[in-house]
Amino acid sequence: MFKRFAGAIAARSMLLERCLPLKDTEDLDTSSAVDRVSAAEIRSPANLPAFDRSAMDGFAVRSDDTRGARPHAPRFIQDFIPLRTGMAVPRGYDAVVMLEDAMVRGQVLEVKAEVHPHKNVARTGEDVMEGDTIFPEGHRLRPPDLALLSALGIGKVKVYAKPSAVIIPTGGELVDAGSRNLMPGEAYEINGLMARLYAEKWGAYACKTEIVPDDEELIREAIRSNLDADMIIIIGGTSVGEKDYAPRILSEMGELYVHGVRLQPGKPTALGDVAGRPVVCLPGYPVAALSNLYLFVRPAIKRMAHLDDKPPRVQARLARKMPSKPGYLSLVRVAFRDDGQVEPIMVSGAGILSSVARADGFVVVPEELEGFEEGDMVEVVLYE
C-alpha cells in the first residue's frame, strides 16, 4: 500500500540531505544572541585584560624590593601603591603583595613575603590576546560566551538566521482547540500546537496555519502560499486511504521520496520536497506525530539551525522487558520509578496521548533488535 516505504534511519538521512544548514545570517546585539550560532569566526579586537591588572587586594611593588622577605624577616619598602583587585598595576611596578602579607607603617610598607615578577598580576592579554580566535564559526553562544564577547567590547555578533517552520493541520473533523464545543465525530486540533511548541523549543520560528479541510486544492494552496518557509509540516492525511491527499499532492507538486516508514509508532509518514522546500507529513495520531517530530523534525531543524542535535538523555536500567516490533525502529515510552529504573509504558494505539503524559521519555530500539530485556541498561531520551 505504501509505495515508497523506507527504513526509519534511511528516511531520516534522505530528509537531512535536503535540510541544509541555512546560509542566511543576521547581526544581533550580543546581549540578545543567547543560543544562537556564530556565522563567522570571531576574533578579538582587544587584549583582555586590556592592562596589567591586580588579581588581589594589596600593594603594587617592584618584586626586586621584596627579595628575601619572610614573616620573621620582613622587608621595608618605600615605593608601593595600594591597589584593589582589578585595578591597573601602574608602570614601573611588576608584582602585587597581598593585603595579608603586608602592613603600612607610616610611609613604608612592611612586606612579609617575597613576590616574584608578575605575582598576583593578571597580565595584559593573559585571558585573550588581540587577534585571537575566540569562537570558530558554528559555535552556539552560551551566556558565558556572550559575557566574554561583552568583556572585549564586542556589541554585535553575526549569527545564522533561525529556520522557519510552517505547520499546516489538515482534517475536516478538526476544530480549533477551545473555540467551541465539539459535535459528534469532531476533535480538537492539537498536533499543530504540539508541533509548533516543539519547533520553537528546537530553535525555529514556527507558526501554524488555519485548519485545512480534506480538500486537495485547499491543501495545495496552503503549501503554495507557504513556500517562503524553510520547512513545511503537514499534519494528517498521510495514510493510504481515499482522503489521504498529502502524499499524492507532494508527488504532484514536487517530489515524494518517502511514504511509509518502518517506525513504531509513526509508520504513515511522508517526506517530500516542493520547490526545494522540505515537506514533512505527520500522521494525525498524536503519539505517532510525536515520534515523527523527534525522529525527523528535530534533527532537521537542528541541522538547518547549525545546532547540535543530541537530545537530553540519561542512562537507566530497565525494570521490565521491553518488546518491540522486529524490523521497525521503535520509540518506546518509559517512566522512571522511584528506584531510578525505567519501565516501558506498553499501550497499544498511537492515539493514546495520556501514555505520553505519564512518560518521562522514550527508549529507541534499533530495527535489528526485538526489544530489550529486564535489567538491560538503556538510554532514555527525555521529553523536552
Select 244 or 273, whichever has its Cβ closest to a second copy: 244
Which of 72, 73, 107, 242 touches a second copy by CB under 8 A? 242
Q: Which amino acid is at 66?
A: T
Residue 13 near a second copy by CB under 8 A: no
Which of 6, 15, 39, 48 touches a second copy by CB under 8 A? 48
Q: Are 211 and 229 in contact (CB under 8 A)?
A: no
Binding mask 97-126 for a second copy (x = CB under 8 A): --xx---------------------x---x
Q: Tell me which residue has cell 532537521.
A: 300
Quote the cell numbers at residue 46: 582587544
Which of 14, 351, 364, 371 touches a second copy by CB under 8 A? 351
Residue 134 near a second copy by CB under 8 A: yes
Quote the cell numbers at residue 302: 537542528
Residue 335 near a second copy by CB under 8 A: no
Select 274 or 356, whichever has its Cβ closest to a second copy: 356
Q: CA 217, 204, 172: angle at the middle one, nearest 5?
A: 30
Cis peptide before 71 (omega within 30 of 0): no
Binding mask 175-204 for a second copy (x = CB under 8 A): --xx--xx-xx-xx-xx-xx--xx--x---
Residue 144 near a second copy by CB under 8 A: yes
Residue 170 near a second copy by CB under 8 A: no
Helix axes 216-224, 245-253, angle to 10 degrees: 50
Select the span of 60-68, 70-78, 130-138, 161-169 touching a second copy (CB under 8 A): 130-138
Which of 5, 31, 104, 340 touches a second copy by CB under 8 A? 31
**CA Rg value for the chain:** 31
Rounded to an integer, what distance in angstroms lies between the CA atom of residue 169 and that of residue 190? 9
Rounded to an integer, what distance in angstroms lies between the CA atom of residue 258 and that of residue 167? 19
